[in-house]
DNA sequence: TTCGATGCAAATAGTTTGCATTCTA
DNA sequence: TAGAATGCAAACTATTTGCATCGAA
């Protein structure tokens, strides 16, 4: 069984920086691997393995889905990539970075990236209350957003 | 597509109370439905549909998996049941009750039910910080628990 | 007696694995 | 040229759906 949770993030600002990080980890740089990275950097938010395999709707060349999964796993293991479950759909992948927290509204289904300061304060609250060093990067905070709270209930 | 999130909880202390709630909602009380409820009340924590179909390891008679799923969906719709995703495995179901929050340690994989007061304070913190009315019942807080924080890192 | 619920089988979504082939280092 | 990574097919897990039959109200 593969581990559910991964190691510390490795920040790389560009695909090329990520490729250097791959080499530094003794990993080979193949066309397929390069493409996964390009897709992740080109996407404007977390994307599914399937999105990547389909070349982000044709913006990039398509690739084999199982290779995409294998590469995502490798990249995640190295710490270059993170994955989130924002709901019941497929897991979503993104380049690892300082922003590592999500909230999703169960009413409007919008998903919101948490601001670093909010994230830090939330973590502090969690540590104080339950003695936990919390991440909100793997599963989001689920609830009702401000806009939906203001509206008449459904 | 079925809704990811459900309605308000209906608390029933016993299988019989739950059965009354079913009748009150115009639902029929079949043997299969009764069994799902019995399993949920007999379990000492959240269980998978498969666990229920297998009669909790033989403690109860087995039932058909698809019926179990259908019944869980119905029971959840009525508000008698909740489901959580505590990790990458199957969804886990439990009788709806006042306790509606979870935390899971990514190191020791233990899962912890949140105390009502901690839950309330956490929700208050989340509301203050991101204007969100948070539930921690569908996805847990993921992080490192106190015990694992104390130990030398893996 | 009706129509909601069941049980079986088959379909589906997401993800993983086996294996011969390809290509990076 | 060694062995890491690929691409295809097949397996697998979790869940859903179609449909003829059954049984609760």
Please indicate if any CB of chain B lies within 8 Å of the CB of A122: yes
> A70 vs A23, A64, A65, CA distance in Å?
17, 10, 9
Is residue A153 pLDDT above 60, yes or no? Answer: no
Question: How much of chain A, in percent, has pLDDT values that exceed 90?
Answer: 80
Helix or strand or coil: residue B139? strand
Q: Are A100 and A46 in contact (CB under 8 A)?
A: no
- Taking contacts as CB-CB distances below 8 angstroms, the residues of chain B near A139 are 85, 139-142
Cβ within 8 Å, pair B103-A132: yes
What digits encode the pLDDT tens for the residues B65-92? 999 999 999 999 999 999 999 999 999 9
Mutate to test the interface with A, among B111, B130, B137, B154 (most CBs of A within 10 A): B130
Residue B2: the pLDDT is 34
Is residue A99 pLDDT above 80, yes or no? Answer: no
Question: How much of chain B, in percent, has pLDDT values that exceed 70?
Answer: 94
| H helix or E strand, kind and range, residue A103 | strand A101-105
CA angle B99, B100, B106 (to 5 degrees): 110
**Bridge partner residues of A92 (DSSP):** A48, A84
Cβ within 8 Å, pair A141-B130: yes
Residue A7: the pLDDT is 65
Nucleotides on chain D that have an atom closer than 7 A to a protein CB are 4-10, 13-18, 23-25
CA atoms of A39 and A56, how far apart (whole Å): 7
Secondary structure letter of residue B47 according to DSSP:
B
Rounded mean pLDDT, A72-96: 96
Report residue A75 as tokens. 């990249």
Mutate to test the interface with A, among B132, B140, B142 (most CBs of A within 10 A): B132
Dmax over Cα atoms in chain B, in whole Å? Answer: 56
Directed axis angle between helix A116-130 and helix B116-130, to 10°?
Answer: 170
Report residue B136 as tokens. 């921690």
């Amino acid at each position: 069984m593969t581990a559910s949770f991964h190691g510390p993030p490795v920040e790389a600002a560009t695909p090329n920086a990520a490729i250097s990080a791959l080499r530094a980890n003794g990993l080979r740089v193949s066309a397929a691997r390069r493409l996964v990275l390009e897709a992740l950097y080109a996407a404007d938010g977390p994307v599914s393995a399937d999105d990547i395999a389909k070349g982000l709707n044709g913006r990039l060349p398509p690739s084999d889905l199982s290779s995409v999964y294998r590469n995502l796993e490798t990249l995640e293991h190295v710490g270059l990539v993170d994955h989130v479950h924002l709901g019941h759909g497929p897991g979503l992948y993104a380049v690892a970075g300082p922003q590592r927290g999500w909230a999703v509204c169960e009413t409007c289904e919008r998903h919101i990236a948490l601001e670093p300061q909010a994230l830090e304060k939330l973590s502090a609250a969690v540590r104080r209350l339950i003695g936990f060093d919390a991440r909100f990067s793997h599963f989001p905070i689920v609830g009702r957003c401000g806009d939906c709270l203001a509206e008449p209930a459904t």
